[in-house]
């Protein structure tokens, strides 16, 4: 049984399902997740992540009956099916509760794409250590952190490396991409404002205004999130919204504006210069509290992996159309900032390595479930 609570988790969990099936063709799956997991497993999700992706205390409180119902569904699945292993995929607030119930039933837990407890809520590491048989890490710097807490951890590679390599190999040329989507023959600014409604509402208007001020030499295009209907975007912007093609959109863009998350790392692996925009609330007080709570110098994966600022991060009240514009300009062709950021991307690729994360993780999970054959005495 697997559980993924958002779009990126759905993607990575679907690849893990494929890798597990390659290792064990008779494996059967149940899950809470999305359409990609459904396609890989051949069954529908017990709960779709679109009905789970609530961000922030306020949203969770407003949707508390839904959260409670989803937890009940997950627990009943464990009770009824008694799977050989429970594999949570990120999404810690929900998944750790489900993991606790799995352990109470004697079901082992292998955490794939572990929670970012090194950033904040470090107290959760005790719960992870108590509940999880293994942590399957996709970030190289996590290994030292978890081992420092006496936990079993494996760096399996980063799934975005394999995924981006595959997508880029199958990607259409720039002219073909623009023509197929009815875009004018001019440079593109990619706007990738997140996968949750609250993220999109907070970030897309700022991104769109910055792109508008940049002028008519560029066409701003929005990467639509799975499960978010076109009408939702129309209420926020009149810019074109493209679905199921965020990778080629970022790859063929001159620069990208990306909300913090997996997409920032994907953009770095693609090689397109970017500005990270994250405006969930403009409150300076919220920003001050966040700065004290976070235990890390950066919030974006590219900067955390490089251990230095490769990509500018505009957070909370600092994310305004004017500040975004000021950070776009140095990344345009002919400017030194563009070359510096691309050089930093090379450091990130080197540190991540080339291992197939899903295949490596699947090998570890199946290996733990397969009884070893006792050696005959000589």
CATH topology of domain 2-155: Rossmann fold (3.40.50)
Structure tokens at 252: 């063929």
Contact (Cβ atoms closer than 8 angstroms) between residue 116 and residue 109: no
pLDDT computed for residue 317 by the predictor = 87
pLDDT computed for residue 42 by the predictor = 97
pLDDT computed for residue 378 by the predictor = 45
DSSP summary character for residue 225:
P
Residue 29: phi, psi to the nearest 5?
-135, 145
C-alpha to C-alpha distance for 108 and 35, rounded to whole angstroms: 26
State how far Cα 275 lies from the chain centre.
Answer: 17
**Dihedral angle sign, alpha carbons of residues 229, 235, 236, 240:** positive
Contact (Cβ atoms closer than 8 angstroms) between residue 154 and residue 134: yes
Domain regions of the chain by residue span? 2-155, 163-352
What is the chain's Cα-based Rg? Answer: 21
C-alpha to C-alpha distance for 130 and 150, rounded to whole angstroms: 11
Helix (H) or strand (E) holding 112: strand 110-112
- Answer whether CATH 3.40.50.2000 is correct for domain 163-352: yes
- The structure's pTM equals 0.82
- Fold match flag (2-155 vs 163-352): yes
Query: What pLDDT tens digit does each residue of the chain (378 aa) get?
Result: 999 998 889 989 999 999 999 999 999 999 999 999 999 999 999 999 988 865 554 555 566 788 899 999 999 999 999 999 999 999 998 999 999 999 999 999 999 998 877 766 667 888 999 999 999 999 999 998 889 888 889 999 999 999 899 999 999 999 999 999 999 999 999 999 998 898 999 999 999 999 999 888 999 999 999 889 999 999 999 999 999 999 999 999 999 999 978 899 999 999 999 999 998 755 555 555 555 555 577 889 999 999 999 999 999 888 999 999 999 999 999 999 999 999 999 999 999 999 999 999 999 999 999 765 444 444
Closest to 221 measured CA to CA, from 180, 192, 197, 199: 192
Quote the Cα angle for 141-196-260, to 5°.
Answer: 35
pLDDT computed for residue 65 by the predictor = 81
Closest to 174 measured CA to CA, from 183, 166, 161, 162: 183
pLDDT computed for residue 118 by the predictor = 74
Helix (H) or strand (E) holding 258: strand 255-258
């Amino acid at each position: 049984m697997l559980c993924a609570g958002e779009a990126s988790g759905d993607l990575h969990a679907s690849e893990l399902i494929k890798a597990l099936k390659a290792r064990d063709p008779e494996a059967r799956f149940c899950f809470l997740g999305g359409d990609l997991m459904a396609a890989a497993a051949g069954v529908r999700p017990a709960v779709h992540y679109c009905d789970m992706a609530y961000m922030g205390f306020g949203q969770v409180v407003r949707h508390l009956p839904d959260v409670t119902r989803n937890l009940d569904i997950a627990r009943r699945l464990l009770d009824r099916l008694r799977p050989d292993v429970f594999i949570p995929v990120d999404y810690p607030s929900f998944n750790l509760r489900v993991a606790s119930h799995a352990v109470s039933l004697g079901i082992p837990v292998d955490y794939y794409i572990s929670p970012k407890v090194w950033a904040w809520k470090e107290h959760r590491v005790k719960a992870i250590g108590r509940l999880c048989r293994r942590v399957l890490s996709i970030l190289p710097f996590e290994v030292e952190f978890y081992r420092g807490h006496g936990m079993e951890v494996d760096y399996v590679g980063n799934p975005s490396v394999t995924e981006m390599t595959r997508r880029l190999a199958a990607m259409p040329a720039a002219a073909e991409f623009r023509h197929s989507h009815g875009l004018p023959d001019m440079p593109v600014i990619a706007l990738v404002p997140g996968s949750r409604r609250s993220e999109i509402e907070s970030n897309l208007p700022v991104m769109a205004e910055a792109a508008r001020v940049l002028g008519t030499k560029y066409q701003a295009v929005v990467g639509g999130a799975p499960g978010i209907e076109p009408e939702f975007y129309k209420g926020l912007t009149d810019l074109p919204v493209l679905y199921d093609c965020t990778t080629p959109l970022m790859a063929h863009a001159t620069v990208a504006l990306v909300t913090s998350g997996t997409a920032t790392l994907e953009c770095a692996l693609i090689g397109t210069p970017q500005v990270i925009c994250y405006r969930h609330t403009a409150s300076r007080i919220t920003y001050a509290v966040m700065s004290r709570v976070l235990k890390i110098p950066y919030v974006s994966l590219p900067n955390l992996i490089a251990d230095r600022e490769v990509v500018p991060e505009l957070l909370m009240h600092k994310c305004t159309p004017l500040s975004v514009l000021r950070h776009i300009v140095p990344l345009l062709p002919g400017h030194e900032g563009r070359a510096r950021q691309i050089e930093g991307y090379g450091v990130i690729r080197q540190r991540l390595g080339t291992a197939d994360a899903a295949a490596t993780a699947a090998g570890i999970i199946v290996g733990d479930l397969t009884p070893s054959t006792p050696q005959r005495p000589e």
